[in-house]
Amino acid sequence: MLKLMLMKVAMAHWQDRISPVFDVADHLLLLDVEGRREIDRKSLRLTGRNPFERVKELSELGVNVLLCGAISLTLEKALIGAGIRVVGFLGGELENVIQAFLEGSLGDGRVRNAGRIGTQPGMSTAKATSTAKARKPGPREHDLRR
């Protein structure tokens, strides 16, 4: 008989939405998932502030997958190095992201942010791209570019 593996999925959230930037998020929703079914969930407060504290915190929680909004390259690489799969640049209502993850449809565009830097609600990807190119990045913003 095939045994389903229990997976811990973490999502940084703010006001019932995916947090815009994981690096500075305070709240984490931790789901226990078996197959395509949510078994348990708990909300926690993140305390780590630098990338390595964040990685340690998620590792100690046993997180396998992080679903998040924007994330710095340094933090993303550190999480991947710790064996945590990162699915970044997601946006939208928390419950929609959870449903899309459980259905295996995160890549269908329903919960992806249209642009990365300079995107505002209602702004097209083309306009966001031209806006990002037209201005110089602020301090630390270069970390978010890919």
Residue 9, phi then psi, degrees to nearest 5: -115, 125
Residue 106, phi then psi, degrees to nearest 5: -60, -30
pLDDT at 136: 42
Residue 17, phi then psi, degrees to nearest 5: -130, 160
Q: How far is CA 69 from CA 38, 95, 114, in A?
A: 21, 15, 11
pLDDT digits (tens, 9 = 90+) for 30-62: 999 998 999 999 999 999 889 999 999 999 999
Look at residues 116, 91, 66, 73 and name the one whose alpha carbon lies nearest to residue 14.
91
- Tokens in use for 59? 């590792």
pLDDT at 5: 82
Average pLDDT over residues 80-99: 95
Percent of the chain with pLDDT over 70: 71
pLDDT digits (tens, 9 = 90+) for 98-129: 999 999 888 776 676 644 433 333 333 333 33
In angstroms, the CA 102 to CA 96 distance is 10
**How far is the first Cα of the chain from the last one, in angstroms, to the nearest whole number?**
43
Q: % helix / strand / coil in the chain, to the nearest 5?
A: 35, 25, 40
Kindly provide the residue ranges of all beta strands, DSSP E only, lying in 1-146, ordered along the sequence. 6-14, 17-18, 27-34, 37-45, 65-67, 85-87
pTM of the model: 0.74
In angstroms, the CA 64 to CA 67 distance is 10
Average pLDDT over residues 56-71: 96
Percent of the chain with pLDDT over 90: 62
